[in-house]
Amino acid sequence: MSALTLPSMGEDASLVVSAGDVKAFAKLSVISQLAPLKERIRSLEKKYGCDLGAFEERIKQPPEDFESWDDFIEWKAYSESVKELEARLEMIEDAEDRCLVRSPLKKY
């Protein structure tokens, strides 16, 4: 496992951050963005009693309902954001552990 150790400013001032720690933080960041989006999607599914695909077919039928169209636009955006974030989460999980750290004491 790769680890980053920063030069200490005193006996107890060193910090070690592993690649696993960075990945865990990145995953938590994505998960924290996913949670409210998924909750909003569940709320819309409950409100309309169907998934996005079925709802899209329903709103195309007359009469036109502007509130439903507004909800559809939001729902679709939430769904696309969830897909993007889930892809990012998968990339983080598949990322290789590497240590690409430059020492602050050396000139590059």
pLDDT at 26 over 70: yes
Tokens 């004491």 found at? 105
Report the largest interatomic distance among the alpha carbons of the chain, rounded to a whole angstrom: 73
Q: What is the pLDDT of residues 73-100, one digit of tens each?
A: 999 999 999 999 999 999 998 887 665 5
Q: How far apart are CA 88 and CA 29, in angstroms?
A: 11
pLDDT recorded at residue 108: 46
Cβ-based neighbour number of residue 35 at 10 Å? 10
